[in-house]
């Protein structure tokens, strides 16, 4: 009995020492796990954003007017009342939606992950939700959960799936926040002065139905339950893309953050609640940062293919394939990711210009994807003729020289590249190129014609 008592006391003493050791181990594991979680994302470099919802029905029009900054913001910018806006859902019937075709198109274009608007600021959920009847299953003639098909297609084609979720702004579910925008930013509403006075007095809201509950009610009864549904019902979720922390508090953010435990390997952006919830990466929007603007954190530029996120019938300012490809290269050369947006129609199809743009990128990526995936930016000085990405293994570094402006004299000067060159080739056809050293620069002899007018890639293999 004495021996047993001694053993129990010894075990108790050991157990009292364990918490500190356990905390240390957990901290190390968490840090390692973040690196592991981020690995696929850093290697992917290229993802697709999909802004899709019942706002595709008005398609940028309200009362015969083109609503500026409309698309997914049309309810706010047009100051459309809750009851009136819900009528759009009754007309939302995307019978041409084909998740498999969407994902195949993305994969063929070289995209590695998809982030879709599970719920945007208008409060309309693109999935079956028990927390709000304003969802695609309960509020539309379509009556089906589009995210289930998308999740299955992503799994089939090996494309990572992420969900965009508007955690704070919600213009339909009572208690949700509303960023105040003056009526004149939408359309020439004759009641603009009256509306602006009302939104100023009611924290951005324009309809009394929006304020029949508190934001605390909204967070507890809609936002947190819906995030849990998204992280429970669709298999592996790679990314949770928060948006606009309007009127968010740390208390609200913590509740949403806790829900992420349902998907321990998930990656999140920096828009949950600044500054105390920085997420895993930064999200510059519609612009590519300069090297001087970067601070070493992981980052992802989200950008439209035309001028809007959600489908607007009248927006035809489409970026050329050249611009899209060169944006991708520029971003990869600075250690960033490119999240390129598509805004599907109310029928469930991609606009033809988006299809053409994706096909153009895919054609380039099929030849040159090696120079984008799993690359990092180089430390070379600014290059007047293009950009550089690289891969390093041990003492060997491969430089990918993306040439936008093909030299007329056949000599590509690469300042600052001093490593010993073991091989230089054109990535397009594998043909070998001659190199020479001139002062502090490498000079690569090129053929007269560029293999690709958008960006030709020269692969330079070096060793220390």
Could you count the other beta carbons within 10 Å of the beta carbon of residue 77? 22
Average pLDDT estimate for 367-395: 96
What is the percent of the chain where pLDDT is above 90?
91
464 band by pLDDT with thresholds 50, 70 and 90: confident
Average per-residue pLDDT for the chain:
93
- Give the tens place of pLDDT for each residue, 153-181: 999 999 999 999 999 999 999 999 999 99
Question: Is pLDDT of 261 > 90?
Answer: yes
Residue 452 has pLDDT above 80, yes or no: yes
Cα separation, 371 vs 272, whole angstroms: 33
pLDDT(25) > 90:
no
In the predicted model, is pLDDT for residue 71 greater than 90?
yes
Task: Over range 324-345, report the average pLDDT.
Answer: 98
Say if residue 4's pLDDT is above 80.
Answer: no
d(CA 356, CA 23): 52
Confidence at 123, pLDDT banded by 50, 70, 90: very high
Q: Is the model's pLDDT at 323 over the cut of 80?
A: yes
3-state secondary structure of 442: strand
* Element at 46 (helix H, strand E): strand 46-50
100, with CB counted inside 10 A (0-12, 13-18, 19+), is: middle
Q: How confident is the model at residue 418 (pLDDT cuts 50, 70, 90)?
A: confident
Could you tell me the CA-to-CA distances from 339 to 218, 283, 301, 336 in Å, in that order? 29, 10, 6, 10
- Name the phi and psi angles at 277, rounded to 5: -130, 75
Residue 79 and residue 190 in contact, taking contact as beta carbons nearer than 8 Å = no
Residue 68: phi and psi, rounded to 5, are: -65, 145
Contact between 112 and 158 (Cβ < 8 Å)? no
Which residue in 268, 276, 216, 211 sits closest to 243, CA to CA? 268
Mean pLDDT of 35-63: 97
User: Does residue 308 carry a pLDDT above 70?
Assistant: yes
Instruction: Provide the pLDDT confidence category of residue 407 given band limits of 50, 70 and 90.
Output: very high
For residues 215 and 241, what is the distance between their CA atoms, to the nearest angstrom? 20
Would the pLDDT of 393 be above 70?
A: yes
Q: What proportions of the chain, in percent to the nearest 5, are helix, strand and coil?
A: 35, 20, 45
| Count of residues in the chain | 464
Q: What is the pTM of this model?
A: 0.92
Residue 181 vs residues 10, 131, 281, 296: alpha-carbon distances, Å = 66, 27, 28, 34
> For residue 195, which of 183, 186, 203 has the smallest C-alpha distance?
183
């Amino acid at each position: 009995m004495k021996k047993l008592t001694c053993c129990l006391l010894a075990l108790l003493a050991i157990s009292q020492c364990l918490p500190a050791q356990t905390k240390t181990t957990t901290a190390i594991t968490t840090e390692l796990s973040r690196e592991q979680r981020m690995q696929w994302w850093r290697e992917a470099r290229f993802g697709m954003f999909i802004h899709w919802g019942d706002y595709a029905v008005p398609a940028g029009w309200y009362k015969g007017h083109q609503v500026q900054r409309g698309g997914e913001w049309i309810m706010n910018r047009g100051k459309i009342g809750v009851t009136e806006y819900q009528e759009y859902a009754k007309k939302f019937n995307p019978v041409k939606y084909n998740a498999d075709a969407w994902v195949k198109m993305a994969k063929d274009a070289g995209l590695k992950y998809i982030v879709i608007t599970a719920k945007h600021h208008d409060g309309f959920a693109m999935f079956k939700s028990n927390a709000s009847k304003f969802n695609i299953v309960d509020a539309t003639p379509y009556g089906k959960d589009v995210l289930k098909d998308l999740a299955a297609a992503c799994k089939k084609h090996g494309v990572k799936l992420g969900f965009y979720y508007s955690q704070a702004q919600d213009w339909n579910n009572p208690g949700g926040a509303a960023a105040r925008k003056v009526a004149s930013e939408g359309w020439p509403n004759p009641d603009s002065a009256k509306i602006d006075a009302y939104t100023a007095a009611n924290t951005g809201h324009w309809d009394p139905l929006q304020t029949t509950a508190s934001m605390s009610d909204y967070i507890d009864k809609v936002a947190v339950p819906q995030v849990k549904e998204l992280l429970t019902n669709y298999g592996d979720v790679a990314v949770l893309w928060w948006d606009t922390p309007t009127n968010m508090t740390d208390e609200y953010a913590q509740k949403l953050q806790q829900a992420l435990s349902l998907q321990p390997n998930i990656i999140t952006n920096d828009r949950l609640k600044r500054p105390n919830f920085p997420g895993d990466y930064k999200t510059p929007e519609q612009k590519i940062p300069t090297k001087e603007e970067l601070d070493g954190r992981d980052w992802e530029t989200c950008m439209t293919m035309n001028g809007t996120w959600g489908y607007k019938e009248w927006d035809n300012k489409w970026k050329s394939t050249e611009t899209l490809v060169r944006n991708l290269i520029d971003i990869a050369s600075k250690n960033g990711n490119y999240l390129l947006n598509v805004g599907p129609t109310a029928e469930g199809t991609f606009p033809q210009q988006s299809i053409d743009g994706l096909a153009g990128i895919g054609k380039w990526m099929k030849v040159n994807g090696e120079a984008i995936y799993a690359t990092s930016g180089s430390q070379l000085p600014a290059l007047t003729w293009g950009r550089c990405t690289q891969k390093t293994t041990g003492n060997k570094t491969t430089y990918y020289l993306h040439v936008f402006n093909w030299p007329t004299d056949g000599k590509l000067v690469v300042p600052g590249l001093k490593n010993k060159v073991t091989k230089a080739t054109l990535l397009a056809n594998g043909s070998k190129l001659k190199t020479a050293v001139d002062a502090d620069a490498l000079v690569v002899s090129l053929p007269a014609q560029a293999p690709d007018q958008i960006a030709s890639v020269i692969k330079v293999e070096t060793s220390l």
